[in-house]
């Protein structure tokens, strides 16, 4: 993940109350109309519950844009 990706993820999750699971992260970002690249990165996260946005950043795959279509 690049610095720009980290900023996008942080912006998309700003105001979210943690802990939050993967589905909550995606739903919250969708509601905030996050850009497609950010949503793709969040969808590539491992299933689980995240304690804060720093933890989310650490878990986002380095190249989420290479994930399979439809994910």
Vertex 10: Cα angle to 19 and 46 (nearest 5): 55
Instruction: Note the pLDDT of residue 69.
Output: 47
What's the pLDDT band for 2 if we cut at 50, 70, 90?
Answer: low
- CA distance readout (Å), 5 to 36, 63, 64: 11, 10, 10
> What are the residues facing 49 on neighbouring strands?
21
Task: Return the higher-pLDDT residue of 69 and 10.
Answer: 10
Distances (CA, A) of 33 to 4, 55, 58, 62: 17, 22, 22, 22
Query: 5-60: per-residue pLDDT in tens?
Result: 778 888 999 999 999 999 999 999 999 999 999 999 999 999 999 999 999 988 98
């Amino acid at each position: 993940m690049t610095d720009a990706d980290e900023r996008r993820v942080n912006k998309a999750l700003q105001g979210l109350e943690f802990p939050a699971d993967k589905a909550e992260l995606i739903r919250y970002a969708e509601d905030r109309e996050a850009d497609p690249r950010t949503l793709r990165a969040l969808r590539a996260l491992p299933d689980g519950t995240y304690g804060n946005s720093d933890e989310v950043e650490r878990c986002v795959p380095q190249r989420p844009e290479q994930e399979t279509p439809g994910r």
